[in-house]
């Protein structure tokens, strides 16, 4: 693996890791909100 591809891959890794995790959290939060909203009030 040469220096250019190492560098590009490092940027891809960071970008994907951060934004995929953020997207996952957004979706999980939405789902959790909807699940809690559908629960009957005590």
What residues line the site for another protein (CB under 8 A)? 1-4, 6-7, 9-11, 13-15, 17-18, 21-22, 25-26, 28-29, 32-34, 36-37, 41
For the chain, the farthest-separated pair of C-alpha atoms sits apart, in whole angstroms, at 61
Question: Rounded to an integer, what distance in angstroms lies between the CA atom of residue 26 and that of residue 22?
Answer: 6
The CB-of-19 to another protein minimum distance in angstroms stands at 8
């Amino acid at each position: 693996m040469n220096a250019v591809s190492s560098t590009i891959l490092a940027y891809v890794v960071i970008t994907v890791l951060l934004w995929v995790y953020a997207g996952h959290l957004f979706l999980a939060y939405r789902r959790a909100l909807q699940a809690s909203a559908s629960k009957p009030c005590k």
